[in-house]
Chains A and B, each alone.
Chain A
Amino acid sequence: MKKFGWKGLFAGLLQGIFLLYTTVICVGPFIWVIISSFKTNKEILDSAFALPTSYAFDGYVRALDMSPIFHFFGNSVWISVINTIISVLVVAMAAYVLARFHFWGKKAFTLLLSSSLLVPVSALLMPIYLLMAQIGLLDTKASLILVYAALGLPTSLFILRGSFLSIPREIEEAAAIDGAGPLRIFFIVVLPMARSGLATAATLHFLTSWNEFMFALVLTKSESVRTLPLALNYFSSQFSFDYTAMFAAITMSVLPSILVYILLQEQVTSSLVAGSVKG
């Protein structure tokens, strides 16, 4: 049913140009960084576009020497995984109660929790720092796990409440008649049925904490607890005269995110959409 004419051709051409522009802008810098990670310092400074003369991994070896990226990577994985599990579990319990039961103060409570959506967390940077100093958690992974667990709390709450509301009540009632207690009903019956909501909340939460920078900057100092995003803060000074190593370090710190995104992009995309619309 498609009619071809000059107009259609022109529109197609414009769209093609826009897609090309998007690709160049979005992928160009990555490819440039990866290629540069194989060039020598002199080659990098001489020409931004010349290809490397050899493809040795010297830069990578030196980068790992100066900055233990795998260690930071491990810290990031640990902190993100633990706080995601804690957060999703804690929020799921609250969301379940809010979705299922009526009690005094429920409306006010939901409103209070969702109001935190309007507070940019950078506004709370300083008091959170003081609180962590007070309870003696500064410069520990626990401080980041605690803070990250609270980030995005209202978004997770809305997503999970929605998925609990869509589960028919009768199944829980049947389980209760069979003698299961509330904890058992929640963990054995309800949670498995809310799988997709849990996956959405967990994906969003993991992404947020995996990429978080500001609290990591303020709450941690030592290398042993440093996360991957914060490690990038030190690249400029660590690799000030070794651009090859800096490009290698950048490549190593972004590749895992890119690979995981490409593999799980349907899940990530639908989670991001759900998170924005709910939030």
Chain B
Amino acid sequence: MKPKKTTLAAFLLPCILLFLLIYLVPLVLVAVSSFANWRIGQPLSFAGLSNYVQAFHDKNVRAAVGHTLLWVIAQATIHVFLGTLLAFILAKKFRGWKVFRTVCMLPNVISTAALAMILLNVFKTDGGLVNGLISLLTGSKFEWNWYFNSSTALPAVTLGWLLYPGMITILMLAAITSIPNDLLEAARIDGATSLQINLRVILPMVRNTLGTSVIVAATSMLKEFELIYLTTNGGPGNATLNLPLYIYKTAFTENNYSYSNAMSVLLILLGVLIVYAINRLFRMEESDY
């Protein structure tokens, strides 16, 4: 069966157009204009590397990149550990395990915006859940504005994603339960304890999925926007600022398009670097079985 060239083109064309319009043209625009001077009310001019030089000295960029790296590392370790631990427990498929799988996914299936609004109330000063809990435990009225104090804003925002590893759990659970049972049976007959089986047999076999989980968790931090935007909006000062939020603010409140686009280029490079590093770390392409 050899189709005509026009048929092939007709099948590919809508997808190509969509890709051009939403990915390629914007991407080229971002890359090119990052070398320009382009803001509202000023003539367009060539700026060389000045946007990048400015970004290098901008303390907000440093804060944003620093927070992103911190969050990437925290997600790749603590978040993935919590999710994997839950997956190992649920993989035993005790009675009612599905209930827990549903439960841990609930914060992930509602929109992040909704989760942000819920957490905003949980951490609220008056009548918030966290302050209420502390008041109840200590017996005296406790009032603290978690999201608006520079000492607690960063940890409070971080908890909003760190403690909800449902996505990692379902990924790891799918991988663990797909290991052939006779392999585990063989280990059991050889006298391995269940801890040994988990650590020495299952964990190495699901290494690829673990790597995928780490990438999923880490790259989610490059996209994080609404949870920060709706709770602290990057503040106080720049205590919880990250690159997407700074890109948004620079483009839409300061109308400095070229500078915003230079930071977009930095964000893309940062992402590529992180994915490459994780791939190297987990030797993802090789398979053991």
Chain A interface residues (CB < 8 Å from chain B): 1, 11, 15, 18-19, 22-23, 25-30, 32-33, 36, 44-49, 87, 90-91, 93-94, 96-97, 101, 103, 109, 112-113, 116, 118-131, 146-147, 149-151, 153, 157, 169, 172-173, 176, 182, 186, 207, 210-211, 213-214, 217-218, 228-230, 232-233, 235-236, 243, 246-247, 250, 253-254, 257-258, 261-262, 265, 268-270, 272-273, 276-277
Contact mask for chain B residues 209-233; partner A; CB cutoff 8 A; 1 contact, 0 none: 1001100100100110110011000
Q: Tell me the residues in window 222-278 of chain B with beta carbons closer than 8 Å to chain A beta carbons.
A: 222-223, 225-226, 229-230, 243-244, 247-248, 251-252, 257, 260-261, 264-265, 267-268, 271-272, 275
Give the residues in chain A near B116, CB-CB below 8 Å.
Answer: 232
With A97-B12, A126-B257, A126-B264 given, is the CB distance from A172 to B1 under 8 Å? yes
Q: Are B30 and A127 in contact (CB under 8 A)?
A: yes
Q: Are A126 and B22 in contact (CB under 8 A)?
A: no
Q: Are B225 and A149 in contact (CB under 8 A)?
A: no
Give the residues in chain A near B103, CB-CB below 8 Å.
Answer: 22-23, 26-27
Q: Tell me the residues in window 109-150 of chain B with beta carbons closer than 8 Å to chain A beta carbons.
A: 109-114, 116-122, 126-129, 131-133, 135-136
Our count of residue pairs bridging A and B at CB distance below 8 angstroms stands at: 267
A132 to chain B minimum Cβ distance, whole angstroms, is 10
Chain B interface residues (CB < 8 Å from chain A): 1, 3, 5, 7-8, 11-12, 14-16, 18-19, 21-27, 29-30, 33, 85-86, 89, 98, 100-107, 109-114, 116-122, 126-129, 131-133, 135-136, 163-164, 166-167, 170-171, 174, 188, 194-195, 209, 212-213, 216, 219, 222-223, 225-226, 229-230, 243-244, 247-248, 251-252, 257, 260-261, 264-265, 267-268, 271-272, 275
Main secondary structure of the interface of A (DSSP, over half): helix
Q: Are B113 and A229 in contact (CB under 8 A)?
A: yes
Give the residues in chain B near A120, CB-CB below 8 Å.
Answer: 219, 222-223, 244, 267-268, 271
Q: Are B109 and A48 in contact (CB under 8 A)?
A: no
Give the residues in chain A near B22, CB-CB below 8 Å.
Answer: 124, 128, 146-147, 149-151, 153
Give the residues in chain B near A257, CB-CB below 8 Å.
Answer: 109-111, 114
Distance in angstroms between the alpha carbons of A228 and B117 in the assembled complex = 13
Distance in angstroms between the alpha carbons of A228 and B112 in the assembled complex = 11
Q: Are A232 and B113 in contact (CB under 8 A)?
A: yes
Partner of B19, one of A19, A113, A128: A113
Q: Are A30 and B27 in contact (CB under 8 A)?
A: no
Q: Are B244 and A150 in contact (CB under 8 A)?
A: no
Give the residues in chain B near A265, CB-CB below 8 Å.
Answer: 98, 101-102, 105
Q: Are B226 and A127 in contact (CB under 8 A)?
A: no
Q: Are A230 and B113 in contact (CB under 8 A)?
A: yes
With A127-B30, A247-B121 given, is the CB distance from A182 to B21 under 8 Å? no
